[in-house]
Amino acid sequence: MIPSCHPNQTYGGKGLCDLCYARNYRRTHKEECKEYSRRSRAREHVILHQQQYWRMIGRFKRHNISKDFYDSLYKKQDSVCALCKRNRKLVIDHDHNCCPNKRSCGKCVRGLLCDSCNKHLGWFENHKELIENYRQ
C-alpha cells in the first residue's frame, strides 16, 4: 500500500508513512510514550551502573587488590590524581618493571593517576634512555 502523506516513503499503517504514523501515535498516546521512555531510561541507567561495577571488579582482579585497598588509596589522595592533583577519572598505576604483563601482583600498585598522567608516565618509563641521551 502506498502512503497518502508521502508516497515515496514506506507504509507505516492507517494510510500513513512510517514517520507520520509514529508521529501521530506519539501525539495520541502521550502518557504511554512518556512511561515507556521513563522505564527505558531507568533500565539503561541500571545497565550502565552494572557495567561500571563489573568493569571496576575486573580492574581490582587485574591489579590483585581489594575494593578496600582501592578506597583507601582514593581517600588518601583526596580523590585526585597523584601527579597532577586534578579531579579526573582515575586509573590504577603499577610498576611495570615488577609486573611487565597486564596483570599485577598487587604489591607494585603505586597509586591512582588520571589517564593522561598514566600514559605520560608509561611513555617516560619506556623511553628513559632517550631522555638521558637528550639531557647530555
Whole-number average pLDDT of the chain: 88
pLDDT digits (tens, 9 = 90+) for 60-89: 999 999 999 999 999 999 999 999 999 988
Under the banding of pLDDT at 50, 70 and 90, the label for residue 119 is very high
CA separation (Å) from 108 to 5, 37, 45? 68, 46, 35
**Choice between 39 and 15, residue whose per-residue pLDDT is larger:** 39
CB 112 within 8 A of CB 92: yes
User: Average pLDDT in the 78-107 region?
Assistant: 88
**CATH class for the region spanning 31-135:** alpha beta
Under the banding of pLDDT at 50, 70 and 90, the label for residue 129 is confident
Under the banding of pLDDT at 50, 70 and 90, the label for residue 45 is confident
Instruction: Please name the helix (run of DSSP H) or strand (run of DSSP E) that holds residue 17, with its range, or none.
Output: strand 16-17
Grid cell 593522561 — which residue? 116
3-state secondary structure of 11: strand
